[in-house]
Amino acid sequence: MYTFVDRGDRSLTLRPEATAPVVRAFIEHNLGAGSLPVKLYYFANMFRYERPQAGRYREFWQLGVEALGSAEPAIDAEAIALAMEYLSSIGIDGATLKIGSMGDENCRPAYMETLRAALAGKAENLCEDCRQRLALNPLRVFDCKNPACRAALAEAPKMIDNLCGDCRAHFDAVGALLGQIGIDFEIDPMLVRGFDYYTSTTFEIQSANLGAQNALGGGGRYDRLVADYGGKPTPAVGFAFGIERLIMALPAAGAHNAEAVQSTDVFIAVIDDKDRPLAFKTAVEMRRLGLTVEIDYMGRSLRSQMKLADKLQAVSVVVFGPDELARGKVTVRNLASGEEKTTGLKNLLASASKGFK
């Protein structure tokens, strides 16, 4: 974590993730007293101390989702489905979903001792970081990308093969539900999450277009975390996406998909400066209807405004011309078909909300 002493000689630590803060808010505001599960989301900046590299910045942004209160495998599958469908909705297709299990307090302690014993004889093949991890938390050895460490782990026992009956049943149920809704996945026995609070289900979504740092996001269950912070035992599951990773993946997914997200419903072109206040008022009213509206603020000629509308992928252009406005009308042009028609200014908002049909 990024920890430092400020000018007031106070030790400050910048947040590395948001699940723990969400749990603290859940407890502090007694959100568990209402109907469960409680479903929350966040979009916020985080910080890491490690050296910045491709796709890993010291300050980074995350979009996250948390569902607290249910231990059902179906809510694991719902969270994973939401993550995959979100990627598709912004134009990122072809991502790989990997799932695993971290076990629980019934099966993980014994497995960790088995893993520690298995790796003790190969300690000389492990990097310095992994030798420290072996003493503190041997599961974190699976995080290492060092080829020698990966080779040492190839023959090591895996958590997925040492699950207790309840964890195995939960894992199998999540997989069955994902298959039922048509979501493909790979079982990754070496998949662990970076925080120690995870239990049972873990998953990661990867893109082949991002190089070595290929994770778009991931998550899993953290059934003990609420109790660890002093709340009532509350099962929970969640995930987060790295916004910078998503931005990097968008061009690789296809420029047409990335641009489609930025399309404009209506561009308002103004010919005479005296009509700009009316055009501005109309733009605001259209936006209140939920439309994406742009208007020229640079005093461009009508020809230049039409070029800008095309660049912004506007569906329709509304031209505020002095002659038409004198008759209480405006001209509407569909940029795809080139079709033009006039409509009454009083009916403009109703017509725009219907796509000028």
**Is the pLDDT assigned to residue 197 strictly greater than 90?**
no
Q: Is residue 10 part of a domain?
A: yes
For position 146, what pLDDT does the model report?
82
pLDDT mean over 143-160: 84
**Is the pLDDT assigned to residue 249 strictly greater than 70?**
yes
**Is the pLDDT assigned to residue 45 strictly greater than 70?**
yes
Quick one: 80 and 170 in the same domain? yes
Domain housing 291: 263-353
Q: Which residue, 202, 197, 196, 165, is CA-closest to 80? A: 202
The CA distance from 23 to 282, in Å, is 44
End-of-domain residue from the set 256, 276, 302: 256
Quick one: 201 and 235 in the same domain? yes
Q: Is residue 138 part of a domain?
A: no
For position 268, what pLDDT does the model report?
94
Q: What is the token pair recorded at 106?
A: 């019934």
3-state secondary structure of 256: helix
For position 255, what pLDDT does the model report?
42
Q: What is the token pair recorded at 348?
A: 């403009």
Quick one: 169 and 48 in the same domain? yes
User: Angle, nearest 10°, between helix axes 108-120 and 128-136?
Assistant: 140
For position 259, what pLDDT does the model report?
43
pLDDT mean over 253-258: 47
End-to-end alpha-carbon separation of the chain, Å?
55
Quick one: 225 and 333 in the same domain? no
Length of the chain: 357
Quick one: 221 and 93 in the same domain? yes
CATH of the domain at 237: 3.30.930.10
**Is the pLDDT assigned to residue 31 strictly greater than 80?**
yes
How do residues 275-319 score in pLDDT, each as one tens digit? 998 999 999 999 989 899 999 888 899 999 999 999 999 999 999
327 DSSP β-pair partners: none
Concatenated DSSP letters for 103-165? --TTTHHHHHHHHHHHHHTTGGGS-HHHHHHHHH-GGGGGG---HHHHHHHHTS--GGGS--H
pLDDT mean over 156-182: 93
End-of-domain residue from the set 256, 282, 299: 256
Quick one: 231 and 328 in the same domain? no
Phi, psi of 205 (to 5 degrees): -115, 125
| Domains held by the chain: number | 2
If residue 318 lies in a helix (H) or strand (E), which one and from where to where? strand 314-320
How do residues 227-246 score in pLDDT, each as one tens digit? 999 999 999 999 999 999 99
For position 357, what pLDDT does the model report?
73
Quick one: 88 and 186 in the same domain? yes
Quick one: 203 and 316 in the same domain? no
Percent of the chain with pLDDT over 70: 95
3-state secondary structure of 26: helix
4 DSSP β-pair partners: 12
Greater pLDDT, 257 or 287: 287
How do residues 327-341 score in pLDDT, each as one tens digit? 999 999 999 899 999
For residue 70, which amino acid is it?
S
**Is the pLDDT assigned to residue 206 strictly greater than 90?**
yes
pLDDT band (50, 70, 90) for residue 254: low
For position 252, what pLDDT does the model report?
61
End-of-domain residue from the set 256, 281, 296: 256
**Is the pLDDT assigned to residue 215 strictly greater than 80?**
yes
Angle at 324 between CA 326 and CA 318, to 5 degrees: 130
Q: Which residue, 290, 336, 301, 297, is CA-closest to 317? A: 336
For position 257, what pLDDT does the model report?
45
Q: Which residue, 236, 260, 306, is CA-closest to 65? A: 236
Q: What is the token pair recorded at 290?
A: 């939920």
Q: Is residue 127 part of a domain?
A: no
The CA distance from 99 to 190, in Å, is 10
Q: Which residue, 49, 63, 58, 50, is CA-closest to 18? A: 63
Quick one: 225 and 320 in the same domain? no
Percent of the chain with pLDDT over 90: 62
